[in-house]
Amino acid sequence: MKKKKTALEKEVEKTLQSFDRLQPLAHNPYFYTRLKARLEEERQRKAGWRPLLVLRPVLVVLLALVNVYTAFLIWGNGNDTLPYRDAYVSAFVSEYALEQNIEDPFAINEQD
């Protein structure tokens, strides 16, 4: 029993037949040689970066330690600067002639 070919099947058949008539593309005979040389050059260039790939985790750990140390310096000794604060404020006031009775806006409001 033969089926009648639909328009879609006819188009598919035409497309498949067009592959049989394809002409081979003209290519440069030295293309493969150039491609191989370029790949080798790229491999050698990347091989030069191998020591830096090993140092990357070391640098990340070192930066993390410096960050922790800096955070400790900033927040760990925060109370040591409080006694000097009044001296800084009074020096600022006397330097810029602000002898008026101005409340310190940074002072901690203590409620009794």
pTM above 0.75, yes or no: no
Q: Give the model's pLDDT for residue 33.
A: 92
Q: How confident is the model at residue 112 (pLDDT cuts 50, 70, 90)?
A: very low
Q: How confident is the model at residue 38 (pLDDT cuts 50, 70, 90)?
A: very high
Residue pair 66/81 in contact (Cβ under 8 Å)? The answer is no
Distances in Å between the Cα of 5 and the Cα atoms of 13, 17, 52 are 10, 16, 64
Average pLDDT, integer, range 38-47:
86
Which pLDDT tens digit goes with each residue over 61-81? 999 999 999 888 877 765 555
111 has a pLDDT exceeding 70: no
Distances in Å between the Cα of 53 and the Cα atoms of 34, 48, 65, 87 are 29, 10, 20, 51
Q: How confident is the model at residue 60 (pLDDT cuts 50, 70, 90)?
A: very high
Give the residue extent of every domain in the chain: 28-95
Which pLDDT tens digit goes with each residue over 21-32? 888 888 888 999
Q: Give the model's pLDDT for residue 62.
A: 94
